[in-house]
Structure 1
C-alpha cells in the first residue's frame, strides 16, 4: 500500500543545493535551465553584483592554486556516512557533554553541520605543518566505492587515507591547501557569531594558511599573528637561525566576538598593595611614556591637575583644598603630556591620585587600577608573544609524561597554553563548546578539564581524530596502542582521574566516543530508483543487519540537527525499548511490533519528535493508525521513520 509517512534522509546537508536556493531567492532573474536542470547564470549574476558593466574575466586579488575548485566541490558534497557510538570506550556516556570522534575530520565536520551549526565558541587546530615529512589527507568523494579509492590512489592497499606530502612534489603546497580549505570552510559554519578560531602553524605554511584563512573568514576578521615560544633554547638543527617559536593565527567569525580575558598571574597580584574604600589597587603613572609623549606632539594632552596634599585627591580646578599644581614634565625638563585627554580626566577624576615625588616639591598624578572590577577580579589580554616554561615543548612533554608515563607522543601541545586560550575565550558559565578537529594526543580536552576544575566551569569539548596508525617502533605501540585515538582517549581518561583526585571538583569528566562509519541504512534507502521491484523485496528492512539501536539513534540525532551531547535516557514502554533524548526533545523506538497501544502511551508524554523503523510496525494498518493517533492525541509531535 502507498504511504506518505515522511522519512529521515539520513545524509549531511547538500550545501550546493542550499547555496542555489539562497541565490535563487536573492536573484530570481539569474535562474536559468541547462541540460542537467535548473542552474545559475553566472555571467548575469556577476553583472547583478557590479555597478559597472562586466566585460569579462579580469585580474583580481585572491588566493588561487591548482585544486581550489576541487576543494570547494569537496566541501559542498554531502555524505551519507554516520557516527556510531562506542559505549565501551566512553566515560559516563549517557550524561556527559563531551565528545571524542574517531574518523576523517572532513566527513565528521560535514556530519556536524546541522547539529552544531553556529554553536561552537572556540576552535583550536594544530594541523599538519607540511614539513615534507608529515602527512596530508587525500579527499575525493565524487564516487564512494573502495575500488575507486584504491584505483585512484585515494587509499592504498591498507585502506589508509593519509599520504606523505614530500617537499619535492610539484603540488607540495597545493595538496596541502586543497586538504585544508574544505575543513576550514566547514569549520567556520560551526562557529557562533561570538566565536573564534586559533590555528597553530610553523614557517613552512604560515603564509599560505594566513591567505587561506583570509579567504574563508575574510581579511576583516583577522585578529592576530601571535608568536608562541615553544623552544626556549632554540632548535639548533635549523639552518642559520635557531628556531624558538611557532605561529598562532587568530580569526573571529564576526565583530561580535567578546573575549573573557585571562586571570592575573600570581606575580602581578602582588602589585596591588594599596587599598581604599573601594578595594585593592595599584598606581599607574598618568604621564605618557614612550612614543609621541611630548606637549609639542600632542598639545591637547598637556594641562594642569591640582592636588590636595592632605589626602592626594585630584581636581582639574584650583581651590582652597586642591592647591598644588601637577604638570606632565619629563625628568629632563621637557614638557610631556598625559595619557588621557581632559574630557576623559573629567569622567574618571575620582580614580586619580596625586603623590609627591620623593626629595622634591613636585607631584605626580597616578591612575588607581583596582584589582576588582564590577564584582570580579580584573582580567587581562594575552600578549602577542606568548612565552613561559610551561608553554615550551619540554614543559608540555613533562606534563604529558606525568599522565602517560612511557607511552610517548612526539611534541604534544602545552596544556597551560591551551588552557589560556580557552580561558581567554570562554567564560566558565558560558556553556561554551571547544572543538579541535586535529586533536592528536588530546591536549585540548585535557586543558578544558583542568580549567573547568579550577573555576568550576561548564565548558565542553569535541575532539576529532583520524585513526592514524602508530609506528611499530614507538613505545606507545609496544604498550598496546595501535592508533592515535586509542592513545588520546586513554590520556583524557587518565587526566580526568588525576584532576578529580587532586581537586575533587564536581565537573564533567566524561566523554562519549563515536566512530565514523558507513551509513546504518542499506543503499536502497538512498537510491530506490536503482533497484527493480523484485530486488526491493530482498530488503525487508532498510537497516543493515549489524547495526544497533544506539547506532540508529546517533544517526537520527545528526539528521534531526540535535547535538550528540544531549542527555540520553533508556526506558521501557509497553515492553518496547525507548530512548529519550533531552527529556521530550526526541523519543526513538527501533523495536518491532509497534502498535496502537504503544502510540497511546507515548502520546501521554507528548514528545516533540518521535522516530521508528519503517519495518518496526506490527503491520501496515498499525503504522497508519499510530500516525493518526499521535496526530490526534499529541498534535505537536512530529513523527518520522527510517
Structure 2
C-alpha cells in the first residue's frame, strides 16, 4: 500500500526525542498515548543516571525567565496544520523567479519553511516590533491574561505577600514581547546555515531582554556584536532627558567564531599608498617587526645594515615578521648575506626581556658575506634601480629597515560596531526614498534605509546567498537584495514574510505595500541596469538584469480535511463525507504547494504543466517531482509518469479512475522506475 502524505508540519518534540535516541537509545522508552498508540518518550530518570543532575540542589542559578516562557518554548515545537497557497496573480515573473513573498503570521511561516530550508539560510535580518506600547501586532495564543500573569509573576512569602515588587502592567508588557519573539528566534536558528548569521534591529525598550534571549537561543559564544546605528542626523528639540539618535542591531552567528566579510576600502584609506620607488604596485610603509619576542625567539636575531655595516635588532619585546630563510633571501637582493654566529645571546635576551640563560641557543645573525665597501656599492646600485625588495631601507638607504605592504594585500576594512548615518543612511533618507517610489506619499512610517541593508549584505552574504526577513515591513530587504545583485552580478535570493496588518492610505494591508514596493523598485533597478549597459564603451561587459520577480504565497489552513480521527470519533456519515479528503475550494496548484516541503523541494522550484495520458500533471524542478491531482486518472497517465523516472511521484488517492488503477499504481512504478518514492494524498 502506498504511503499517504500527512498534512501539517512535524512535531518538534518528537524530532527532539528522535535526536536524543540517536545518541542515547537507552533513555528512550514507549508509553501508551491518548489515542491508544505507542509513543516514544524520554525516561528522564534514566537520562539523569546517564548524565547526572547538575542542577540538583542548586535552587539559585543564573537564568533569564518571565511568566509564559515555558509556553513560548513549547510553541516553537508544536506542529501546525497549515500550508502555503500560491498567488500567481499577485506575483512577478512567477515561472522564473527564485524570490518569495509570504503573507501570514511569521511563526507559521517559519515552521513551514523549516521543512524545506533548514540549514540553508546564510543571512537573516529582522526588524521586529519595538514594544513601544502601540506596535504589538502578534497576538499569539500563549500570551497570558492578567489573572494568569498575576498567578505566576513573582514569588510570595508565607502570608501571601510579594517577595519582589513588580508592576503587573509593565511586567506583563515585557513578558508578552519576550514570549512573542522567543519561538520565532528558535525556529530562525534552525533555518540558519552553519556559516550564517542573524541581524536584529531593536531599540532600548527591549534590547537588554533580546540580548538575554539570544544568548539562550544561539549561545553566548555566538554573540558577534551590538552594532550602534546612528538613525538620525539631528536630535529632536522636544526630546526629554537624553535624545535618542541611535538604535541597536544585535548580531549572532549559527556557530562560534563567525567572521564577517570586509567592507570596501575608502579613498582616505588608500591615500596612504603610493610608489615612491617606481614599483608597479602601490604600497605603504609597514613595521617589519611584530610583538612577542620571548615567544618567537627563533625570529629574534641581528641583521647587518648593507649601507652602514651596523648590526641592528628588532625593537624591545618584538620579533621579525619574516622568517629567517625568507629574510635572508630578500636581503640578498641588496648585497651578499650569510648566516653567522656572532655570540649575541646577551643582546637577544635583552630584546626578548628574559635572562641570558633562558635565551634560545644557536640562533645565528644575518650578516654580510662581502666586504662593507662592496656591499655598500651593490646596495646603492639596487636602491637607485628602484622597485625595491619587500624589505627596504629609508633615508636614501642609510636609515632603518621597513617592510612594504602592498595595497592588493589589504582585503578591505573591518566593519566595527558604530555605523554612522553618512555611511549607511538614516530614517529620513529611508522615508524620502519610499516617497519617491510611491509618487510622493510614504505608505509606511518606519522603513529602514536601503544603504543599511546593503552594509549587512556586504559583510554577511555571498553572491548566491539565501536571505530571510520575517518582519519585512515595507520590504526594504527585497530592494536591497535586488540592488546588491545589480551591482555585483550576484544571484542572492530573498524570502520575505509579513502579517497582513492594516495600514492607512488606501493600501489595505502591509503586504500590499511590500509587494508593490518590490514591483516598483524592481522596474526601476532593471531600467537603471539597462541604461548603464547602453553607456558602456566598446569591449566592456554588460551587467545582467537581476531577478526582480517574486512568488507570492499565502498561509492558510491545510488543503486536507481532518481525516485523522480515532474510531470513536468517526461514524458512518463521516466516512461518506471523507471519501475525498481535499477541501472543496482548493486547486491542484494548492495541493502541489502543500506536498513540496514533504520532499524538501523549494517553493521557488520551476514548475511545468504537462499533459500525460490525457490528464494534467505537474513536473517540478525538472523531473524531480511528478504530481497529478486531476480527476479520473487512469493507468495510461501513471505509466507515462513512471517512464519519466522522477525522484518522487504524488497523486490524489480519490482521483484514481477505479480499483484497477490503484492496484496498478505500485506495479507500474516498480516496472519503469523502481527507485521513485511514491506517495498519495
- Using the size of structure 1 for normalisation, the TM-score is 0.83
Shift in Å at residue 34 of structure 1? 5.9
**2:100 alignment counterpart:** 99
The secondary structure found in structure 2 opposite 1:490 is: helix
Q: Find the aligned partners of 1:110 and 1:45 in 2 and give their Cα distance.
A: 28
**1:162 alignment counterpart:** none
Q: Find the aligned partners of 1:53 and 1:303 in 2 and give their Cα distance.
A: 47
Deviates more, 1:202-211 or 1:516-525: 516-525
**1:308 alignment counterpart:** none
Deviates more, 1:410-419 or 1:526-535: 526-535
- Matching residue within 479, 498, 523 for 1:465: 498
**2:227 alignment counterpart:** 226
Give the conservation status (yes or no) of the 8 Å contact 1:47–1:54.
Answer: no
Q: Find the aligned partners of 1:248 and 1:352 in 2 and give their Cα distance.
A: 42
**1:208 alignment counterpart:** 209
Give the conservation status (yes or no) of the 8 Å contact 2:17–2:40.
Answer: no
Give the conservation status (yes or no) of the 8 Å contact 1:287–1:336.
Answer: no
- Matching residue within 363, 368, 392 for 2:426: 392
Q: Find the aligned partners of 1:451 and 1:34 in 2 and give their Cα distance.
A: 54
**1:409 alignment counterpart:** 444
**1:631 alignment counterpart:** 670
The secondary structure found in structure 2 opposite 1:246 is: strand
Q: 1:527 to 1:565 in 2, by over 3 A?
A: farther
Q: Residue 18 in 1 paired to residue 53 in 2?
A: no
Shift in Å at residue 25 of structure 1? 3.8
**2:162 alignment counterpart:** none
Q: 1:432 to 1:141 in 2, by over 3 A?
A: same
Equivalences for residues 445-464 of structure 1 within 5 A: 445-464=478-497
The secondary structure found in structure 2 opposite 1:577 is: strand
Q: 1:23 to 1:604 in 2, by over 3 A?
A: same
Q: Find the aligned partners of 1:592 and 1:608 in 2 and give their Cα distance.
A: 23
Q: 1:239 to 1:13 in 2, by over 3 A?
A: same
The secondary structure found in structure 2 opposite 1:615 is: helix
**1:85 alignment counterpart:** 86
- Matching residue within 1, 4, 9 for 2:6: 9
Equivalences for residues 47-446 of structure 1 within 5 A: 47-50=49-52, 55-56=56-57, 58-140=59-141, 168-255=169-256, 257=258, 259-274=260-275, 280-286=281-287, 317-318=303-304, 320=306, 341-344=319-322, 352-354=390-392, 356=394, 362-363=399-400, 365-371=402-408, 378-389=411-422, 390-404=424-438, 405-428=440-463, 431-446=464-479
Give the conservation status (yes or no) of the 8 Å contact 1:466–1:485.
Answer: yes
Shift in Å at residue 303 of structure 1? 12
Q: Find the aligned partners of 1:106 and 1:528 in 2 and give their Cα distance.
A: 32
Shift in Å at residue 356 of structure 1? 3.3
Give the conservation status (yes or no) of the 8 Å contact 1:521–1:544.
Answer: yes
Q: Find the aligned partners of 1:284 and 1:9 in 2 and give their Cα distance.
A: 67
Q: Find the aligned partners of 1:327 and 1:406 in 2 and give their Cα distance.
A: 68
**Uncovered stretches (5+) of structure 2, i.e. residues with no partner:** 34-38, 149-166, 331-388, 531-543
* CA deviation string 1:268-312 (max 9, x = no partner): 455543398986334154289xxxx9x9x978899999xxxxxxx
Q: Find the aligned partners of 1:587 and 1:8 in 2 and give their Cα distance.
A: 15
Q: 1:525 to 1:272 in 2, by over 3 A?
A: farther
Q: Find the aligned partners of 1:68 and 1:623 in 2 and give their Cα distance.
A: 49
Corresponding residue pairs, total: 580
Q: Find the aligned partners of 1:301 and 1:39 in 2 and give their Cα distance.
A: 56
The secondary structure found in structure 2 opposite 1:537 is: helix
Shift in Å at residue 248 of structure 1? 1.0
**2:625 alignment counterpart:** 586
Q: Find the aligned partners of 1:302 and 1:53 in 2 and give their Cα distance.
A: 45
Q: Residue 486 in 1 paired to residue 512 in 2?
A: yes
Give the conservation status (yes or no) of the 8 Å contact 1:115–1:562.
Answer: yes
Q: Could you list the runs of 4 or more consecutive aligned residues of structure 1 that deviate by over 6 angstroms after TM superposition?
A: 275-278, 297-305, 324-328, 335-338, 526-529
The secondary structure found in structure 1 opposite 2:75 is: helix
Q: 1:372 to 1:354 in 2, by over 3 A?
A: closer
Give the conservation status (yes or no) of the 8 Å contact 1:353–1:368.
Answer: no
The secondary structure found in structure 2 opposite 1:481 is: coil
Give the conservation status (yes or no) of the 8 Å contact 1:236–1:243.
Answer: no
- Matching residue within 507, 512, 523 for 2:551: 512
Give the conservation status (yes or no) of the 8 Å contact 1:260–1:423.
Answer: yes
Give the conservation status (yes or no) of the 8 Å contact 1:595–1:626.
Answer: no
Q: Find the aligned partners of 1:336 and 1:183 in 2 and give their Cα distance.
A: 54
Q: 1:602 to 1:32 in 2, by over 3 A?
A: closer
**2:642 alignment counterpart:** 603
Give the conservation status (yes or no) of the 8 Å contact 2:224–2:258.
Answer: no
Q: 1:550 to 1:34 in 2, by over 3 A?
A: closer
Shift in Å at residue 453 of structure 1? 0.2
Q: Find the aligned partners of 2:306 and 2:23 in 1 and give their Cα distance.
A: 70
- Using the size of structure 2 for normalisation, the TM-score is 0.78
Q: 1:207 to 1:256 in 2, by over 3 A?
A: closer
Q: Find the aligned partners of 1:19 and 1:266 in 2 and give their Cα distance.
A: 52
- Matching residue within 552, 557, 563 for 1:524: 563
* CA deviation string 1:219-273 (max 9, x = no partner): 1111111111111223444432122211111111113745443222455455543
Q: Find the aligned partners of 1:366 and 1:441 in 2 and give their Cα distance.
A: 51
**2:383 alignment counterpart:** none
* CA deviation string 1:422-469 (max 9, x = no partner): 1211221xx210000000000111100000000000110000001111
Give the conservation status (yes or no) of the 8 Å contact 2:111–2:187.
Answer: yes
Deviates more, 1:608-617 or 1:21-30: 21-30
Shift in Å at residue 190 of structure 1? 0.5
**2:386 alignment counterpart:** none
Give the conservation status (yes or no) of the 8 Å contact 1:287–1:337.
Answer: no
Q: 1:599 to 1:322 in 2, by over 3 A?
A: farther
* CA deviation string 1:498-540 (max 9, x = no partner): 0110113332111100001111111225777632233211233
**1:160 alignment counterpart:** none
Q: 1:635 to 1:276 in 2, by over 3 A?
A: farther
Q: Find the aligned partners of 2:255 and 2:675 in 1 and give their Cα distance.
A: 36
Shift in Å at residue 563 of structure 1? 1.2
* CA deviation string 1:552-611 (max 9, x = no partner): 111110222211111112222222211111101111111012211112222221011011
**1:161 alignment counterpart:** none
- Matching residue within 501, 519, 540 for 2:527: 501
Q: Find the aligned partners of 1:75 and 1:347 in 2 and give their Cα distance.
A: 59
**2:379 alignment counterpart:** none
**1:535 alignment counterpart:** 574
Q: 1:454 to 1:272 in 2, by over 3 A?
A: farther
Q: 1:533 to 1:372 in 2, by over 3 A?
A: farther
Q: 1:515 to 1:568 in 2, by over 3 A?
A: same
Q: Find the aligned partners of 1:512 and 1:138 in 2 and give their Cα distance.
A: 27
RMSD over aligned Cα atoms: 3.2
Higher helix share: 2
